[in-house]
Amino acid sequence: MVSMDKALKQFIVQIAAEAGEYLRNHFYTFKNVIEHDSGALKTNIDLELAAHLRKRIAEVYPEHAVRIQGETQTKNAEYVWLIDPLDGSSHFSRSIPIYTVTIALQHNGTTVLGAVNHAQTHQLFFAAQGGGAYLNGIEIGVSEQRDLSKAFIFVELPEKKFADQLETTATLETRMGTVNRLVDAAGQLETFRIGSFGQCLVAAGAFDAYIDLSGSSEALSQAASRLILEEAGAEIIDVQPSKDGFVQIMATNNYLAAELKKIIHG
């Protein structure tokens, strides 16, 4: 564990708050939608916010590297910032108020700080390695739900267009079969599509589990929320092995993990 100084912790929270305010202020403005890789979308807001965050970090920590979602790292550095300025661009472009800005700081490849801002509801999640997880400054933890039949589960639904980013055994049909088993077993199944937000809601105990069946989740976009989950006491299990920068995880409390693992592995 690397000891993070107070100024660095305050800085990540500050820029995450600034980024959230920027997104809120531009939510109902004109968006220039840009087709991106794998059919995903970006907007002019993504690009403008990415440039702003890069500039802010360079002003205060010029020796640090910055990697924006969709980019490859070009600068070797002890500290690297991983940023998805707008996780949920497709929602944002349609004025659907479910999106986040995610910012993580890695030290020699290990995530040591993470912040996720769900700007529309003013929910700013934060974690420091070994220092706990917080929502708007209040410490949070995963739920203590033991009964799967009463559990609220956040599921990212399968996406056919991302099938080639998964193991060949995990076809669309098998993943939809998993959804059906979860519907039968759980108290309630919901999907808001944005994984970083779903993971943070599990960290805060609002949902009892997060299960990703989409195949579209990128490790960079979930670096911050994964640390928040870990510091909130979640058990994290790979649904499928990571591949080419894509990840697929389940996160829940210790009580539900074994039963859910049986369901998702069929």
Q: Are residues 58 and 134 in the same domain?
A: yes
**Distance in angstroms between the alpha carbons of the first and the last residue of the chain:** 37
Predicted pLDDT at 165: 53
Predicted pLDDT at 1: 44
Q: What is the pLDDT of residues 74-114, one digit of tens each?
A: 678 999 999 999 999 889 989 999 999 999 999 999 999 99
Q: What is the pLDDT of residues 118-129, one digit of tens each?
A: 999 999 999 999
Pairing type for strands 100-107 and 110-118 reads: antiparallel
Please, what sign has the CA dihedral across residues 35, 46, 247, 147? Answer: negative
Buried/exposed code over 73-106 (b: 16+ C-beta within 10 A; e: otherwise)? eeeebebbbbbbbbbbbbbbbeeeebbbbbbbbb
Can you tell me the distance from the alpha carbon of 105 to that of 194, in angstroms, rounded to the nearest whole number?
Answer: 20
Q: Are residues 156 and 246 in the same domain?
A: yes
Last residue within a domain, chosen from 87, 108, 140: 140
Q: What is the pLDDT of residues 51-82, one digit of tens each?
A: 999 999 999 999 999 999 888 766 789 999 99
Q: Are residues 128 and 10 in the same domain?
A: yes
Please check the confidence at residue 183 and state whether its pLDDT lies above 60: yes
Give the mean pLDDT of the chain: 90
Predicted pLDDT at 168: 46
Whichever domain contains 88, its CATH number is 3.30.540.10
Q: Are residues 157 and 244 in the same domain?
A: yes
Three-class DSSP category at 98? coil
Cα 205 to chain centroid, rounded: 16
Last residue within a domain, chosen from 86, 117, 140: 140
Structural domain contains residue 256: yes
- Answer for the pair 96, 81: CB distance below 8 angstroms, yes or no: no
- Each as own residue / partner, the long-range contacts of residues 78-84 (CB below 8 Å, 24 or more positions apart, any chain) are 78/107, 78/108, 79/105, 79/106, 79/107, 80/105, 80/106, 81/53, 81/57, 81/105, 81/106, 82/106, 82/111, 82/220, 82/223, 82/224, 83/50, 83/53, 83/54, 84/196, 84/218, 84/220, 84/221
Q: Are residues 232 and 168 in the same domain?
A: yes
Q: Are residues 66 and 176 in the same domain?
A: no
Percent residues over pLDDT 90 in the chain: 71
Three-class DSSP category at 188? strand
Can you tell me the distance from the alpha carbon of 43 to that of 101, in angstroms, rounded to the nearest whole number?
Answer: 14
Can you tell me the distance from the alpha carbon of 112 to that of 21, in angstroms, rounded to the nearest whole number?
Answer: 24
Can you tell me the distance from the alpha carbon of 139 to that of 120, in angstroms, rounded to the nearest whole number?
Answer: 21
Number of domains the chain is built from: 2
Domain around 114:
6-140
Whichever domain contains 174, its CATH number is 3.40.190.80
Last residue within a domain, chosen from 71, 105, 140: 140
Q: Are residues 135 and 152 in the same domain?
A: no
Predicted pLDDT at 195: 94
Q: What is the pLDDT of residues 128-175, one digit of tens each?
A: 999 999 999 999 999 999 999 999 999 999 876 555 555 545 677 888
Q: What is the pLDDT of residues 206-240, one digit of tens each?
A: 999 999 998 888 999 999 999 999 999 999 999 88
Confidence of residue 35 (pLDDT cuts 50, 70, 90): low
- Answer for the pair 233, 242: CB distance below 8 angstroms, yes or no: no
pTM value is 0.93
